[in-house]
Amino acid sequence: MSSKNQPRIGGKVRRLRRQRQISQAALATAIGISASYLNLIEHNRRQVTVSLLLKLAGYFGIEAGELAQSDDSQISGDLMEIFGDDIFADADVTNQDIYDLAANNPAIARATLLLFDKYQDMHTGKIAGEEKGSENAVKSNGSSHHQATDAISDFLQENANHFPSLEEAAERVLNDINNASDDFETGLRSYLRNVFGLEWRSASLPGGIASSLGANGCILEMSNILPVQTALFSAARHTGLLAAKNQIEAIIDASTLPRPENDKISPDFLNDTAANNDKKTTDAPALANNVLASYFAAALIMPYKPFLKACFEHRYDVERIARQFNASFEQVCHRMTTLQRPGATGLPLHLVRTDIAGNISKRFSMSGIHIPRHSGACPRWNVYGAFLQPGRINVQLSQMPDGEIYFCIARSFEKGGYRHNAQRRHFSIGLGCHISHADRMIYSDGIDLSNTTQVVPIGVGCRICPRMTCEQRAQPPANHRFEIDPAQRPQNLYGRI
């Protein structure tokens, strides 16, 4: 069996062990092996027998299949993307080399990604500086903002987008809310008032502002033009900043996110004040603070057990579940990707959000599909086609170049524009799973999943896609040279390489 096909569970075992704060020695004793042998397993340097796999799965309270599922598909895909860059054109790096690096040395793999991010940042800044003829342009345009968002994507991927301490905090707060009122919003208002002395009021706020703290921090003003679900989520998010402050700080402190220069995170920093906006090294933890507060909000509005039950009963019918929990389509899709509690997991899903220009603003994959890190995704993917049918759920059987097929749904939606002539923002959400799980989603009804004629070949990005006959190519492959036949002119110059 090749190293690519061996089950590589090391990263998942290590993450589960650390989440439960178990030492290597304690886990090794519990499953009857030495600590040194467990260390080799966690670094994918030893194969795992079926009996040992079952012992590990039983210890963590999960199915053996969940444990055996590859945990390094996204990082290996990211590595393939960066090694497709022109600077590596003469490097003799094979796909197998990349698989081995991602599985056996994930820390080095992530460091490689970070190094390439830095290179991209400096290169972009240099070009901007040359165009403007200014050294300051190099500094100002070499912004590391994209590095912070990439770091957050990696952070979520490393934690399988699941944070047990925030789930527990949300359940405690929800219990208090339910004791205060049978109506969630009424109970949340009472909770904020009784616990934090905070009054939640509707107000007319400047354009672009969803909420604001007024009256010396005693009044939470919510824009009166927000949709009901957005206003509720915003209030729940602010609740998370207060009620789960310690848990959020602990998660950030234990993470591998880039740190402020003094390695200390102040309250002002966590609140992302304007004074810190120019400190590029602090962007990632500040953004993580916001992301984790939003995670808490989703867990509060859509509590784990009832939400998981609804997903199973309604077969991931996003719109029906959104109605049940008074949440938006996007909020429900995000929550579906967080169902990774050991012993009570949902489908291994991927999620991507893109705007109408193709900029990917959110990416997460437990399904195994590779979502591009630096470039736009494939125009054949239905996450882009969804813009042509606003509000409709588009279904696609998407096949990646490695032959794996994924069941993907996508829907476009608008944000903002709650007043006359206000500009709207257009987004598309893509959600999906491996085709082996497709029948568990209601959107697969009426679709012949075995019919290969319905499969749409897609790629990650034109520069690393090996499909040589795609008529929607925007660029030739990075490692390919071609000749133009003067006697023939193809419809797409790069589509018939």
The domain limits of the chain are 10-71, 74-143, 164-301, 344-449
Given a contact cutoff of 8 angstroms between Cβ atoms, the answer to whether 370 and 75 are in contact is: no
What CA–CA distance (Å, rounded) separates 463 from 375? 9
Given a contact cutoff of 8 angstroms between Cβ atoms, the answer to whether 299 and 166 are in contact is: yes
Indicate whether 485 pLDDT > 70: no
Q: What's the residue count for the chain?
A: 497
The pLDDT tens digits for 100-153 are: 787 777 778 878 887 887 777 676 655 455 555 544 443 433 343 457 788 898
pLDDT for position 78? 78
pLDDT for position 277? 39
Question: Of 376, 373, 443, whose CA–CA distance to 406 is shortest?
Answer: 443
The phi and psi torsions of 415 (rounded to 5 degrees) equal -130, 150
CATH number for the segment(s) 344-449: 3.30.450
Per-residue pLDDT, averaged over 447-454, amounts to 92
Indicate whether 263 pLDDT > 90: no
Indicate whether 77 pLDDT > 80: no
Radius of gyration of the chain (CA): 24
Indicate whether 81 pLDDT > 60: yes
Per-residue pLDDT, averaged over 393-420, amounts to 90
Indicate whether 327 pLDDT > 80: yes
Topology classification of domain 164-301: Arc Repressor Mutant, subunit A (1.10.10)
Q: Which residue has the tokens 């195994």?
A: 368
More confident residue, 155 or 114: 155
CATH number for the segment(s) 10-71: 1.10.260.40
Given a contact cutoff of 8 angstroms between Cβ atoms, the answer to whether 129 and 137 are in contact is: yes
What CA–CA distance (Å, rounded) separates 152 from 288? 6
Classified as helix, coil or strand, 363 is: strand
More confident residue, 355 or 477: 355
Q: Determine which helix (DSSP H) or strand (DSSP E) holds 96, and give its type and residue range.
A: helix 95-104
Dihedral (C-alpha) 395, 331, 316, 433: value to the nearest 10 degrees? Answer: 60
Question: Partners of 362 in the beta sheet?
Answer: 353
Indicate whether 371 pLDDT > 50: yes
CA 279 centroid distance within chain: 24
What CA–CA distance (Å, rounded) separates 428 from 414? 9
Given a contact cutoff of 8 angstroms between Cβ atoms, the answer to whether 292 and 284 are in contact is: no
What CA–CA distance (Å, rounded) separates 387 from 411? 8
